[in-house]
Amino acid sequence: MSRTSTVIAGNWKMYKTTCEAKTFVESLAPLIKKSQATVYLAVPFTAIDQTVQVVKELGAPITIGAQNMNDAAEGAFTGEIAARMLKDVGAGFVILGHSERRQIFNETSAFINKKVKRALKDSLQPILCIGETLAQHESGETESVLKGQLQGSLEGVTSEELSKMIIAYEPVWAIGTGKVAHPDDAEKAHAFVRSVLAEAWGKEVADHIVIQYGGSVKPENAVDLIRQPNIDGLLVGGASLSADTFSKIINGLLA
C-alpha cells in the first residue's frame, strides 16, 4: 500500500441483510469498474461470505471486510467473533476503534490495542479509527486526544506492522451528524497524525501509510477532502448504503 492509492472504504454498520448486500454489490460493481480508487466495504458479519462470493463472480475491484472483532484467537466468548473466522469467510480487513465502539461499548485504547495486534498476527489488515468528541474539539484538545489514542492503540506495534495498516481520522462530532470538518481543519489533523506516526515509528512509514478521513462524507464534500495533501482516502458511513451515492464518491463525481 502506498499513498498513491486512494482508499475509499464504506462502513455499513448494522444495515443490510445478506440479500440486500448481494444486490448492492451487483449494482455497485458496474458503476466503479473504471475507478482508480481502492475500494473497501465493511459489511455485517452475516453478509461477508455472500458478498465475497459475489465480488469474485463479478470480478469487481472491491475488498470485503468486517467492522469489529475480538482480541482472542478463540475461546468461550459468547457472541464474539475471531480474526481467523473472518479470514475464513474471505474478509481482507477489519475496522477497529470506531468511535461507536469507543463511545457506546466503552472500548479503551488498551483493548483496541489487543485487537490490532491480534488482527496483524492473523493477517487481517486493521483500519484503526481515532477521533475527538465535540467537547474535546471545542476545548482545543484535538491533538492531545489523537496522540493519546494513537499511542494507546498502537503500543508495541512495530514499524513493519504499522506499514500494513490504515489509519482513519473520524472526528466524533462529524459522524452521522451532517457536520463535516472543513477540508483545511481535516488536513491539519491528518498532518498532525502523520507527524506523531513519524516521531514514533519513523518518517518512511508515516510518509507511506494511508490516512483516511471519515465523518459525514458525501459526494458534495468528498472531492475537496481528498485533494488535501495528507488525506489519502475516505471512510464513508451513511453515504455508502446507496450504490449510486457511494459510486459518486468513489469516482470523484459531484451529485
95: β partners: 127
Which pLDDT band holds residue 99 (cuts at 50, 70, 90)?
very high
**Domains: count for the chain:** 1
Q: What DSSP designation does 59 have?
A: T
Region 56-76 average pLDDT = 97
Q: Give domain status of residue 2, yes or no.
A: no
Q: How confident is the model over 205-233, as pLDDT tens digits? A: 999 999 999 998 999 999 999 999 999 99
Catalytic choice (100, 170, 187, 190): 170
Q: Give domain status of residue 209, yes or no.
A: yes
3-state secondary structure 197-233: HHHHHCHHHHHHCEEEEECCCCHHHHHHHHCCCCCCE
CA–CA dist 250, 217 (Å, integer): 11
Domain limits for position 17: 7-251
204 is known as an active-site residue: no
Q: Give domain status of residue 1, yes or no.
A: no
**Strand ranges of the sheet holding 38-42, from the earlier edge strand across to the other edge:** 62-65, 38-42, 7-11, 233-236, 210-214, 166-169, 125-130, 93-96
> What pLDDT is stored for residue 253 in this prediction?
66
CA–CA dist 185, 6 (Å, integer): 20
Is the CB of residue 125 less than 8 Å from the CB of residue 92? yes
Q: Return the half-sphere exposure (C-beta side, CA atoms, 13 A cut-off) of residue 124.
A: 31
Q: How confident is the model over 5-41, as pLDDT tens digits? A: 799 999 999 999 999 999 999 999 999 999 999 999 9
Q: Give domain status of residue 147, yes or no.
A: yes
3-state secondary structure 142-207: HHHHHHHHHHHHCCCCCHHHHCCCEEEECCHHHCCCCCCCCHHHHHHHHHHHHHHHHHHHCHHHHH
Which helix or strand (DSSP H or E) is residue 109 part of?
helix 109-121
Q: How confident is the model over 136-181, as pLDDT tens digits? A: 998 999 999 999 999 999 999 999 999 999 999 999 888 777 777 8
> What pLDDT is stored for residue 181 in this prediction?
84
Q: Which three cell numbers stand for residue 121?
A: 498476527
Hey, what amino acid is at 64?
A: I
- Asked if the model's pLDDT at residue 2 lies above 70, the reply is no
| pTM metric for this prediction | 0.95
Which residues fall within 8 angstroms of residue 28, CB to CB, at 6 or more apart?
60, 62, 243, 246, 247
Q: How far apart are the first and last CA of the chain?
A: 29
Q: Which three cell numbers stand for residue 127?
A: 483500519
Which pLDDT band holds residue 67 (cuts at 50, 70, 90)?
very high
> What pLDDT is stored for residue 175 in this prediction?
78
11: β partners: 42
> What pLDDT is stored for residue 255 in this prediction?
46
92: β partners: none
CATH code of the domain containing 226: 3.20.20.70
98 is known as an active-site residue: yes
- Asked if the model's pLDDT at residue 4 lies above 60, the reply is no
Helix axes 142-153, 109-121, angle to 10 degrees: 40
CA angle 199, 201, 205 (to 5 degrees): 105
